[in-house]
Amino acid sequence: MSKEKIDIEIIEDFYSKVLDNQRKLRIYLPPSYSTQKNKYYPVLYVHDGQNVFHGEESYSGESWDLHKTTDYMIKEGLIEEIIIVAIDNMGEERLSEYAHRNGYFKNERVKARGHKYEKFLTGELMPYIAENYRVKEGPENTALMGSSMGGLVTFNIGLRNRDLFSKLAVMSPSFWWGRTSPLKKLNSYQYNNLDTKIWLDTGEEEGKFMAFNEKVISRLKDLKNNSKLDLIYYQVPGAIHSETAWAARVYCPLLYFYGDIGKIKQVDLAGPEVITSNIRINPIVTFDSKFKMSALEGEFKSLNPEIIKINQNGTLIPQKAGNASIEFKSYGHQALKNIKVT
């Protein structure tokens, strides 16, 4: 075991009997870990460990710089101290391990090993971390985070093991995977009496295969407003599918899980100013802590319905050419946006 200079310990070859392979672990230790020997910390498990702290071993050459963001937020008093366990993927085995159902990638069939990866995580890795590091135990102190296929496996493992995890950061999840739609994936779990915080996000520039359609947004609104589920969704304007994009917004789930998101500062409507066909507009809520999310509650209204109609999922429905104003009210705030139909 070697130690890097900003409190990241490296375990080079952690062996899994369940998967019969070994991988690298990268463990971020908070500032007080080496001095306060009797202090215990919440733990955050993150998939795709190569991408989490440094870019040298990342597939894209980019990283989340999660250690830097976390360190800064701790030292500024924005979040409590946490331990982060970044779990390397296994390269060619990544899709298989992160999938709970079989699927296809580049016209080749991928056999799912997600159930085995889940057993590795919950039955081998987590007990090892609990035995060798000062982590607070219990679901209220345990979080899971991932992006892309890592977001999908976070969603599945987290909701299949609600007795182990109470915080899930599901970033740009590959809900397109396999034969079931994103909506069916959402509906495959029960959310009643679920004592879990779920951060769910997608980037607006990730492409249609990653985007959530109106039915999915409607279901998220229903879950948010008609159950006890603590859900935050953020449709990120201008964000692509990349480590750099996830790095830019990872402070939001960290603040949501381990800090105080603060008070609402303003509400804005993100979207095009000129439209030719139906398109959904995105209400963005900004807090005084710089935390951001998309509003899943509120009321849309077209001030010029003869030009544009709008439904309560935010979908603009142009009627004829002209200029119109859209109003949105939520959380005691109001936003207006002028839109031209051509």
The predicted-structure confidence for 290-310, as pLDDT tens digits, reads as follows 999 999 999 999 999 999 999
pLDDT, mean over the chain: 94
Largest separation between any pair of C-alpha atoms in the chain: 69
Asked if residues 258 and 74 have their Cβ atoms less than 8 Å apart, the reply is no
Gap between the terminal Cα atoms of the chain: 63
Query: Which stretch of 64-78, 139-153, 202-216, 255-269 has the lowest confidence by average pLDDT?
Result: 202-216
pLDDT value at residue 192: 85
State the pLDDT confidence band at 2, using cuts at 50, 70 and 90: very low
Residue type, 237: P
Predicted local confidence at residue 80, as pLDDT: 98
Closest CA to 314 of 293, 332, 288, 294: 294
CA distances from 314 to 18, 73, 187, 308 (A): 46, 34, 22, 12
The pLDDT of residue 5 is 62
* Together in a domain, 249 and 283: no
Coil vs helix vs strand at 156: helix
Whether 220 contacts 233, CB under 8 Å: yes
Helices (H) and strands (E) in the chain, counts: 9, 21
Share of the chain above pLDDT 70, in %: 97
Tell me if residue 31 falls in helix, strand or coil: coil
The residue count of the chain comes to 342
Q: What is the pLDDT of residue 3?
A: 42
Q: Kindly state whether residues 41 and 149 are assigned to the same domain.
A: yes
- pLDDT value at position 70? 97
Categorize the per-residue pLDDT at 69 as very low, low, confident or very high, splitting at 50, 70 and 90.
very high
Q: Are 41 and 33 in contact (CB under 8 A)?
A: yes
Q: Are residues 253 and 328 in the same domain?
A: no
pTM: 0.94
- Phi and psi at 204, nearest 5°, equal -65, -20
- 108 and 248 share a domain? yes
| 210 and 143 in a common domain | yes
Q: What is the pLDDT of residues 145-204, one digit of tens each?
A: 999 999 999 999 999 999 999 999 999 999 999 988 999 999 999 998 898 999 999 999
Do 28 and 141 lie in one domain? The reply is yes
The sign of the dihedral angle between the CA atoms of 306, 279, 180, 126 is negative
Other Cβ atoms less than 10 A from the Cβ of 16: the count is 19
Q: Which residue has the higher pLDDT, 304 or 207?
A: 304
Give me the long-range contacts of 179-183 (CB less than 8 A, separation at least 24).
179/101, 179/103, 180/101, 182/212, 182/213, 182/216, 183/213, 183/215, 183/216, 183/219
Give 57's DSSP letter.
T
Q: Are residues 254 and 295 in the same domain?
A: no
Residue 278 pLDDT greater than 50, yes or no: yes
Mean pLDDT of 274-297: 96
Quickly list H helices, 172-242: 182-186, 214-226
Residue 97: predicted pLDDT? 97
Distance CA 312, CA 96 (A): 39
14 and 36 together in one domain: yes
Domain boundary among 199, 228, 260: 260
Please answer whether residues 65 and 246 qualify as being in contact, where contact means their C-beta atoms are separated by less than 8 angstroms.
no
Specify whether 108 is located in the same domain as 190. yes
Which CATH number is 293's domain given?
2.60.40.1080
Closest among 17, 13, 20 to 123, alpha carbons compared: 17
Last residue of a domain, one of 217, 232, 260: 260
Total domains in the fold of the chain: 2
Please state, in angstroms and rounded to a whole number, the distance separating the CA atoms of residues 211 and 319. 25
| Same domain? 74 vs 179 | yes
> Of 218, 244, 260, which residue constitutes the final position of a domain?
260
Domain with 209, as residue range(s), is 2-260
- Domain co-membership, 274 together with 226: no
Closest of 244, 308, 304, 298 to residue 275, by C-alpha: 308
Radius of gyration of the chain (CA): 21
Strand duo 43-46 + 333-341: pairing: unpaired
Tell me if 181 sits within 8 A of 214, measured CB to CB.
no
Dist CA 326 CA 303 (whole Å): 6
Place of tokens 């599918």: 241
User: How far apart are the C-alpha atoms of 261 and 77, rounded to whole Å?
Assistant: 13
What pLDDT does residue 147 have? 97
Give the mean pLDDT of 44-60: 86
Residue among 87, 101, 80 at smallest CA distance from 32 = 80
What is residue 104's predicted lDDT score, i.e. its pLDDT?
A: 84
Q: Check whether 101 has a pLDDT greater than 80.
A: yes
Same domain membership, residue 253 and residue 273: no
pLDDT band for 58, please (50, 70, 90 cuts): low
Q: What is the CATH number of the domain that holds 72?
A: 3.40.50.1820
